[in-house]
Amino acid sequence: MSKIIEVRGLSKSYIINHEGKESYTALRDVIAHKTKKIFSFSNWKSTENTKEEFWALKDIDFDIEQGDRVGIIGRNGAGKSTLLKILSRITEPTKGNIKIKGRVASLLEVGTGFHPELSGRENIFLNGAILGMSRAEIKTHFDAIVDFAEVEKFLDTPVKRYSSGMYVRLAFAVAAHLEPEILIVDEVLAVGDAQFQKKCLGKMEDVSKNEGRTVLFVSHNMGAIQRLCNNVIVMNKGVIGFQGEVTSGFNYYDSLIRDHKLTNNSSGFALKIDLNVKGQLNPKFLHSDDDIEFIIDIESPNDYTENFINVCIDNSVGDRVIHLRNDFEHFPIDIKKGKNQFKISIAKNLLAPSIYYYWCRVVIGNQQFIIDSDLISLEVKGEVISGLIAHKSTWEIA
C-alpha cells in the first residue's frame, strides 16, 4: 500500500482575546470620572484586553496508507475537528507540511459544503464540480445519490429549508458517491437516525474495502469505530498519543479517561462518574451475575432543584441497551452547593456477556454536561448467550 496522507510537524494555534471587565468602585469615583470626562477626552471606563495563544495541535506526525479506515478518537477539545479541517483544506495550519494524494470529500458540520439558496439537485452538481468531476460523471452517480439520501421529493427545494437530518443524508450521499480518494467524516452523522447511521457505516465499509478508498472517521461511538476501522489515532491535548490497531488504541484511550474529572471552569461545576463492582471502582470487566452500581459525583457552585441524570449503556455496535433516568423513576434530584453524590444500581444478570460502553449526561438548571462523553468500555463475562440482555426469569408449571 502507498501512503496517501503524510503529515509532518503539523501545528495550529489560535489567538484568544480576553476582554477586561469594566471596573467601577465607589460613587465618588464615578462622579470624579464623569467630571473629568466633561473637561477632557479621556474615557473613564477602565478596561484591559489581553491575548492568549492557544495551540489546538502541536507538532503532529503521522502517515495513512491508501485504503486505510482510520478512527480518530479523543476527548472533547483534543484537536480532532481541527485536524480534519486542516486535512480538508478548510483551515490553514500555523506550521508543518501535509502531502495528500487524490481528491478529498468532507462531511464535518451541518451547514457546511452546500449553498443554502440552491436546491438539492443544484448542490449535487456544485459539489461534483468542486471535486473536479464533469457534468457527465456526476450524472452517472446522480440516481444513486438521491436513492441513498431518500430526498427525491425535495430535490428541487432550496437546502436551507431541509431539516438537519435531510441535510446530513444528502451531504453524506454526495460525499460518499462522488468517488473521492479520501472520505473524511466527523461526528455529524450523529444527527441522523440510528438506521441511517448504520447505512452510512455500511457505505464507508464498502468504499474502503471494495473500492480501496481511504476513510477518516471521528466518532464518540466506540462500537462504530470498532466495526468500521482497522486503525485508530488517539488524540490528547493537541498531540497524538497513539496510532495503531483498534483494540490497543481503545486500551490506551481507556487509560487516559479512567478516573478523569471533567471540570467546567467557566461555570464552576466538577463532575465524575465511577463504576462500582464489589467495592472495586472502574474494573475493566465484570461477571454477568455481579451487582452493578454507578456513582455520580457533582460539585456545584450553587443550589439547584429538579435536575436530571442519565446513564446510558451501549453495546459494541452502538445500540442503546440500557437507559437510566431519574425522571423515569419519578425521583426528583436536588443538587446542593458543594459536593453531592448519587448512586444508581441495576439488577445482576441483566447484561449478556459482551463489550459495552457507558456514559452519563447531567442537566443542571439550564446547563448540560456530558461526563466521559467519549465512552468508557466495559467487558461483561459469563455464559455465552444470544440476545442483548441476560435477565433471569422465574419458571413454574401451571
- The sign one gets for the Cα dihedral 78, 82, 84, 87 is negative
Return the pLDDT at 258.
Answer: 58
Distance CA 360, CA 320 (A): 13
- Give DSSP secondary structure letters for 132-149: T--HHHHHHHHHHHHHHH
C-alpha cell at 306: 429538579
Q: At what angle do helices 120-130 and 135-149 cross, to 10 degrees?
A: 130
Return the pLDDT at 19.
Answer: 54
Q: Which residue has the higher pLDDT, 298 or 163?
A: 298
C-alpha cell at 228: 468500521
C-alpha cell at 278: 464489589
Q: What do you get for the CA distance between the two ends of the chain, in Å? A: 66
C-alpha cell at 158: 432550496
Question: What H or E segment, with its residue span, contains residue 240?
Answer: strand 239-244
Bridge partners of 73?
234
Return the pLDDT at 193.
Answer: 64
Residues in the chain: 398
Worst-scoring range by mean pLDDT, 155-164, 300-309, 365-374? 365-374
Q: Which residue has the higher pLDDT, 47 or 216?
A: 216
- Give DSSP secondary structure letters for 1-62: --EEEEEEEEEEEEEEEEEPPP----HHHHHHHHHHHHTSS-------EEEEEEEEEEEEEE
Encode 152-199 in three state secondary structure.
Answer: HHHCCCEHHHCCHHHHHHHHHHHHHHCCCCEEEECHHHHHCCHHHHHH
Distance CA 50, CA 154 (A): 49
Give me the chain's average pLDDT, please: 81
Quickly state the pLDDT bin for 227 (edges 50, 70, 90): confident
pLDDT (tens digit per residue) in 232-283: 999 988 999 999 999 888 888 877 765 454 445 456 788 888 889 988 888 8
Q: Which residue has the higher pLDDT, 171 or 44?
A: 171
C-alpha cell at 170: 444528502
pLDDT (tens digit per residue) in 320-369: 788 898 888 888 899 999 999 999 998 888 888 887 888 888 888 878 78
Quickly state the pLDDT bin for 23 (edges 50, 70, 90): very low
Q: Is the pTM of this model over 0.85?
A: no
Question: What H or E segment, with its residue span, contains residue 129?
Answer: helix 120-130
Phi/psi region, residue 55 (left: phi>0; alpha: psi -120 to 50; beta: rest), is: beta
Return the pLDDT at 140.
Answer: 92
Quickly state the pLDDT bin for 22 (edges 50, 70, 90): very low
- 292 Cβ partners below 8 Å, 6+ apart? 275, 276, 277, 286, 345, 346, 348, 350, 351
pLDDT (tens digit per residue) in 146-181: 999 888 999 999 988 988 778 888 888 888 888 889
Domains of the chain and any CATH numbers: 55-255 (3.40.50.300), 259-381 (2.70.50.60)
pLDDT (tens digit per residue) in 129-146: 887 788 898 899 999 999
